[in-house]
Structure 1
Amino acid sequence: MKWVCESLDAQTDLGFVIQWMFVTLVGFLVSLIWIEIGERPDLGALEGAIGGLIISLAQWFILKQYISQSWRWIFVHVLIWSVIALTPVGLLGWVTPRTLNLTPRIFYGVIEGIKLGICLSIGQWWVLRTEVFKAWRWMIASVISWGVALPIGWMFGGILRQGTSFFLGDVLGLVLVWTIVAGMTGTALTRLLWYPVRPDDW
């Protein structure tokens, strides 16, 4: 009986992760209709608001089934991505490095990914803190996700661009970034959403 329950839990977790990855990637691809992949100075607060709105709206279709006041997820992402666009961090979800050298892409990818993860996780934690048990764990998961995904995606994009001389290589690198982030954060959410905050935890 225990084995059956664990099997059902695993299927539920996997189903959620797949849905989360799908809507996140669709949101990113749709955002490219309005946001042109570029370098940091090219993208401003308007692009940040558009990108944050589209991706968070896509994710909201999944989150609304699990948390109350899920509309705050959309509000927070529009705000955070708009503010990030005005800082030196920039819209890293839509930014490619200027250099094709893989070493700085990996090194700075880790550093910049951690910075972005911190910025995003603070706002996301504010949404999740009253919805899930020990929501601070989400901040760790978000930082690790972006710290891992960005250097891998930038490296992959750099390799493709060196091999083909086409900018599309970097675009595919960003697709990989969002795929990894969605997979890792989706997995983290399955660990959080199944354990809601109990009244006696306050």
Structure 2
Amino acid sequence: MAHLKELTSLNSGIGFWLQWMCVTICGFLLSLYWIEVGFRPDIRWFQGVMGGLIIGTAQWLVLRQRLPQAVWWIAATTLAWGLIGYSKLGALGWVVPQEMYSVTLRSLYGGLDGLKVGAILGAIQWFALRRHVSNSAWWIAVSAIAWALGLAIGWSSGAILRLKTGIFLGEVGGLGLGWGAIAAITGICLIPLLSLYPPKSLKTGGL
């Protein structure tokens, strides 16, 4: 009986992770309909708000199964990306480096900038988690690390793809890989944080 319960919990966790990966990546791809990937001066607060709203809404579709009042996740994610876009960082989820094709340098700057973006994003999203999730402060560290690794992967792979193909679309593909890495890391870490709430145990009215 205990073994069956552990197996069910494992399957539930894997299912959540796959859903989280899917909605996050799909959210990024959908955002490209309204946001054109570009350089830092061109991707600012408006693009950040649009992107944050789309990504936050996509992730809410999965979070609402486990997190009470998950609608606040949309507001937090939208606000966070708007503030990040307004800052000197720019909305880095849709930004690629200008005239920098060194994989080493891109990895370095991607890691440093990603750490800042992830910390800001995680800190604001924490407000949507803290009332219902124990040890929710860990989310700030998780977000910072995920974005440091993800943006480093995205920018470096974007340089490789662009140099190999000779077209800017390679940069977009690199960012897509970066978002995939971020979704994978954050999804894994969300499973234990949200373990208090089994899937579909919440009333749908809780949003």
Equivalent position of 1:127 in the other structure: 128
TM-score by length of 2: 0.91
Runs of 4+ in structure 1 off by over 3 angstroms are none
- Say how many residue pairs are matched: 196
- 1:173 paired with 2:174, answer yes
| Alignment deviations for residues 97-128 of structure 1 (CA, whole Å, 9 cap, x no partner) | 11111121011011001001111011111110
**What residue number does 2:86 align with?**
86
Residue matched to 1:69: 69
Give the distance between the partners of 1:108 and 1:44, measured in 2 at CA.
Answer: 19
AA matched with 1:59: Q
Matches within 5 A, 1:1-202: 1-98=1-98, 99-195=100-196
Aligned to 1:200: none
**For 1:171 and 1:42, how far apart are their aligned partners in 2?**
15
Q: Percent identity?
A: 43
Q: CA deviation at 1:86?
A: 1.2
Alpha-carbon contact 2:13-2:191 (below 8 Å) kept: yes
TM-score w.r.t. the length of structure 1 is: 0.93
Given that 2:39 and 2:97 are in contact with CA atoms closer than 8 Å, whether structure 1 keeps it comes out as yes
- 1:38-78 deviation digits (Å, cap 9, x = unpaired): 01100121111110101101111111111122111111111
CA contact (8 A) 2:146 2:181 kept: yes
Unaligned ranges ≥5, structure 1: 197-202
1:4-31 deviations in Å (ceiling 9; x for gaps): 3222221111100000011111111110
- What residue is the counterpart of 1:199 in the other structure? none
Cα distance between partner residues in 2 of 1:149 and 1:192 = 21
How far off its partner does 1:141 sit?
Answer: 1.0
Structure 2 residue ranges without an equivalent (≥5): 198-207
Determine the C-alpha separation between the residues in 2 that align with 1:172 and 1:165: 13
Letter in 2 for 1:44: R
RMSD of the TM alignment (CA)?
A: 1.1
How far apart, CA to CA, are the structure 1 residues paired with 2:138 and 2:80? 19
- The aligned amino acid for 1:72 is W
